[in-house]
Amino acid sequence: MEPKVSRHESNQSEETDDQLLDKVIAGQAESFNQLVKRYRSRIFSYGYYLLHSCDDAEDMTQETFVRAYLNLKKFRREASFYTWLFRIASNVGYQHIGKLSRQRKMKENYANNQPAGNQQECASPETMLLKTEVQQVVFEAMQQLRPKHREALILKEINGLEVQEVANICRVPEGTIKSRLNRARTELKKQINRMSRLGGELVQ
């Protein structure tokens, strides 16, 4: 269950988040670029797996960083910047889901195998994503989950956050996250089995 990319891997020889935040608040807006570079792929991945749309994921990423920059003074530093950023991303993501009924659109997009938006940018993730058959099935099955369950699963399994961090992002108790994860896994397994039967082949 180790995350693929360590969160602080790229920070080792660089300034910490707090130092960069201090600089941004002091007026050095360029320092915010470093924060964007540091976290944009994680936020984008989170958005993509949550919304299953490159366009929406990119919009979400952009909106997340814009809100973060504009509300930087409200950041009380009780949690890490990373958690706070994900909290914003989560809010933005839910707004996308609620506003546009993304789930139905997601199914259509996936059925057509034509991801919306920038095809060149999304072609790479798609091919990467569909690298293995199992990943393809899991990815498809994930879209059938409820957004809350999917969010917990993405944050915990794909982004490699701890349960406590996920709980902070979702603003729910840890027990709730564990429950959501459990239900998400059970539901994911059901979906995979169903899809495997429909496809005439088993995952195994």
Partner 1 sequence: MKCRTCQTIIEQCYYTAGTATQLMEHIQTCSACRQAWQQQEMITQALTTMPQLAPSDALQANIWQSITARQNTSGFSSLFTKQRLRLWAAAAMLLVLGVTSVLVNQEQHRPAPISFNHKTGVTQPATQPDANKIAGQNKIDETQPAKVPGNVATKQHAATSETKQNSQPVIAKGSGNQEEPIKQTKIRTYRSPFTSFSVSKDKKKSMKTLVGKSEVNQAAQSYTASSGQPSPGQTMAVDAPAQHQFRLYNNKINVNQQEAARITLSLHQGKKLSLAIYSRTGRLVKMIANDFLIPGDYEWQWQGKNSAGETVGSGIYLLLLQLEGEKPQKQQLVVIK
Distance from chain centroid for Cα 29: 25
Shortest reach from residue 128's CB to partner 1, in Å: 4
Q: Which residues contact 158 (CB under 8 A, 6 or more apart)?
A: 45, 46, 49
* Rounded-to-integer distance, Cα 105 and Cα 137, Å: 18
* Rounded-to-integer distance, Cα 38 and Cα 15, Å: 11
Q: Where is 74: in which H helix or E strand?
A: none
* Rounded-to-integer distance, Cα 57 and Cα 44, Å: 6
* Rounded-to-integer distance, Cα 2 and Cα 115, Å: 29
Residues that bind partner 1 (CB under 8 A): 1-5, 33, 36-37, 40-42, 44-45, 48-49, 57-58, 61-63, 65-66, 69-70, 118, 121, 124-125, 128-129, 131-132, 134-135, 137-139, 153, 157-158, 160, 182, 185-186, 188-189, 192, 203-204
For residue 143, give the amino acid letter: Q
Helix (H, G, I), strand (E, B) or coil at 4: coil
